[in-house]
């Protein structure tokens, strides 16, 4: 018997751009990107998919996009239709939305030398990225995130997905974008819940990686809650920087079971489903962070003073840290969520807990009784946000 052993590397690189008024014809950023991406002999096209919820807040969005591409037709041709899809988890739960995007790729002749551009929140970008990744085995993806959560976390990463059979992100790919464009002005139309939602991911990454960044959030919590754009711009840039650094320096395609950026997420994912997504992702992550921090304190890992600081920051920016679904059915649903997270990781549970602010440690088992006690702690506290 003879064996051929294969080994090769594929290099990925992409930029996260920060700008304002991206589709203003006086803003050259997107034009310059397409010009730099010129491929001799190919007529490149762009299929644009827009989050309906965002579109409703930007009545001139589609006309601005068409005007921008018309001015730059020498570098890129816009597909005849700009596709709209529902925002939020609804688009990831509905297989017809995926079918619609793949059909559009076919109808408008979007090939591997063309671009699929997703404009919207994290769920829409997940769906668009998945459709782009599996069409023609991969079409170039550009992400234009329109929420805090997408600009500082999910939109700058390498994962794409849809939900399946009641399980979050069951179908998905690791397929990096070719570029991400963060437009600060897009955040002005967010309601307070979505403005606040992205702060949970910033707190998350600060807690496990950067004490100084957590202290900055602590100091600016009131300004962030009050929608201070300068503070939010810094938070998004720093959080995105830490997220991309982690991807580059670790296990970007998650071949192992270590996923530190999923801190607080095992309970969050289950809570989203238990509430039929009435609790939004950032809100669920804030509760998941609080739950895991209480757990870490109860097993003697995290100091009580650190726990109180974390709870204080989360509540000061406006999060409620308890939901009745956590305790429903004698907390069996939450235990099932832990098992589902174990399956999602490939059979070996790896959970990030905090040893102290700025330093996370991985554990491979959680005690169900202590989880239940941690839920009771949050219920009894029921701190009302300021």
Same domain, 183 and 204: no
- Quick check: is 199 in a domain? yes
Token output for 60: 């001139």
- Quick check: is 286 in a domain? yes
- Quick check: is 3 in a domain? no
Same domain, 122 and 198: no
What is residue 255's DSSP assignment? Answer: -
Token output for 96: 């017809």
Q: SS3 for 317-372, per residue?
A: CCCCCCCHHHCHHHHHHHHHHHHHHHHHCCCCCCEEEEEECCEEEEECCCCHHHHH
CATH number at residue 237: 1.20.1090.10
* Percent over 70 (pLDDT), the chain: 92
- Quick check: is 360 in a domain? yes
Same domain, 223 and 116: no
368 pLDDT tier (thresholds 50, 70, 90): confident
User: By the 8 A CB rule, do 47 and 108 touch?
Assistant: yes
Print burial letters for 66-79: b (CB count within 10 Å at least 16), e (below 16). Answer: eebbeebeebbbbb
The yes-or-no verdict on residue 344 having pLDDT over 80 is no
Q: Which residues pair with 180 in a beta bridge?
A: 16, 143
- Quick check: is 10 in a domain? no
pTM score: 0.88
Same domain, 150 and 242: no
For residue 285, count CB atoms less than 10 angstroms from its CB and return exposed for 0-12, middle for 13-18, buried for 19 or more.
buried
Same domain, 163 and 298: no
Instruction: Give the model's pLDDT for residue 366.
Output: 85
Give per-residue pLDDT as tens, 162-184.
998 877 788 999 999 999 999 99
User: By the 8 A CB rule, do 231 and 213 touch?
Assistant: no
**Which has more pLDDT, 346 or 107?**
107
CA distances from 180 to 33, 243, 386 (A): 11, 13, 34
What is residue 299's DSSP assignment? Answer: T
Number of domains present in the structure of the chain: 2
- Quick check: is 4 in a domain? no
Strands 159-164 and 167-174: antiparallel
- Domain extent, residue 156, equals 15-189
- Lowest-confidence range among 32-36, 39-43, 278-282, 299-303? 39-43
Task: Give dist(CA 235, CA 228) in Å, integer.
Answer: 11
Same domain, 263 and 175: no
Task: Give dist(CA 295, CA 342) in Å, integer.
Answer: 18
CATH number at residue 82: 3.40.50.1970
- Quick check: is 47 in a domain? yes
Task: Give dist(CA 386, CA 330) in Å, integer.
Answer: 30
Which of 138, 158, 189 is the C-terminal boundary of a domain?
A: 189
Which residue reads 């399946």 in tokens? 164
Same domain, 105 and 204: no
- Helical H runs in 146-280? 148-152, 192-209, 211-225, 229-249, 265-274
Task: Give dist(CA 294, CA 381) in Å, integer.
Answer: 11
User: By the 8 A CB rule, do 365 and 297 touch?
Assistant: no
Rounded average pLDDT over 41-51: 88
Token output for 222: 């009131």
User: By the 8 A CB rule, do 334 and 318 touch?
Assistant: no
Q: SS3 for 181-211, per residue?
A: EEEHHHHHHCCHHHHHHHHHHHHHHHHHHCH
The yes-or-no verdict on residue 257 having pLDDT over 60 is no
Give per-residue pLDDT as tens, 263-279.
888 889 888 888 988 99
Same domain, 67 and 84: yes
The yes-or-no verdict on residue 28 having pLDDT over 60 is yes
Which of 163, 189, 215 is the C-terminal boundary of a domain?
A: 189
Which of 158, 189, 220 is the C-terminal boundary of a domain?
A: 189
Give per-residue pLDDT as tens, 120-178.
999 999 999 999 999 999 999 999 999 999 999 889 988 999 998 877 788 999 999 99
- Quick check: is 140 in a domain? yes
Same domain, 307 and 351: yes
Same domain, 150 and 286: no
Q: What is the overall mean pLDDT for the chain?
A: 89
Same domain, 234 and 328: yes
Same domain, 142 and 231: no
């Amino acid at each position: 018997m003879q064996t051929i052993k294969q080994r090769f590397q594929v290099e990925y690189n992409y930029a996260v751009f920060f700008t304002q008024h991206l589709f203003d014809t006086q803003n050259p950023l997107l034009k310059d990107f397409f010009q730099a991406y010129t491929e001799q002999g190919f007529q490149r096209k762009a299929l644009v998919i827009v989050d309906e919820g965002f579109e409703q807040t930007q009545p001139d969005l589609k006309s601005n996009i068409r005007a921008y591409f018309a001015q730059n037709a020498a570098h890129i041709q816009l597909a005849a239709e700009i596709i709209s899809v529902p925002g939020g988890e609804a688009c990831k739960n509905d297989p017809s939305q995926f079918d619609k995007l793949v059909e559009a790729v076919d109808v408008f002749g979007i090939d591997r030398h063309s671009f699929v551009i997703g404009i919207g929140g994290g769920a829409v970008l997940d769906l668009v990225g998945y459709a782009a990744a599996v069409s023609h085995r991969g079409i170039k993806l550009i992400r234009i995130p329109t929420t805090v959560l997408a600009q500082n976390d999910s939109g700058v990463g390498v994962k794409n997905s849809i939900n399946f059979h009641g399980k979050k992100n069951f179908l998905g790919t690791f397929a990096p974008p070719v570029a991400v464009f963060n437009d600060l002005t897009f955040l002005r139309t967010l309601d307070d819940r979505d403005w606040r939602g992205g702060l949970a991911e910033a707190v998350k990454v600060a807690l496990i990686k950067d004490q100084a960044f957590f202290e900055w959030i602590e100091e600016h919590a009131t300004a962030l809650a009050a929608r201070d754009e300068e503070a939010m711009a810094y938070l998004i840039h720093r959080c995105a920087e830490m997220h991309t650094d982690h991807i580059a320096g670790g296990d970007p395609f998650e071949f192992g079971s270590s996923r530190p950026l999923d801190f607080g997420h095992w309970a969050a994912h289950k809570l989203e489903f238990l509430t039929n997504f009435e609790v939004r992702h950032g809100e669920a992550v804030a509760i998941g962070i609080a739950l895991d921090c209480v757990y870490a304190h109860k097993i003697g890992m995290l100091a009580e003073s650190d726990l109180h600081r974390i709870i204080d920051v989360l509540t000061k920016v406006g999060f409620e840290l308890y939901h009745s679904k956590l305790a429903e059915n004698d907390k069996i649903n939450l235990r099932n969520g832990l098992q589902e997270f174990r399956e999602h990781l490939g059979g070996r549970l790896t959970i990030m807990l905090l040893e102290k602010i700025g330093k996370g440690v991985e554990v491979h088992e959680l005690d169900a009784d202590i989880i239940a006690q941690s839920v009771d702690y949050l219920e009894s506290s029921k701190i009302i946000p300021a």
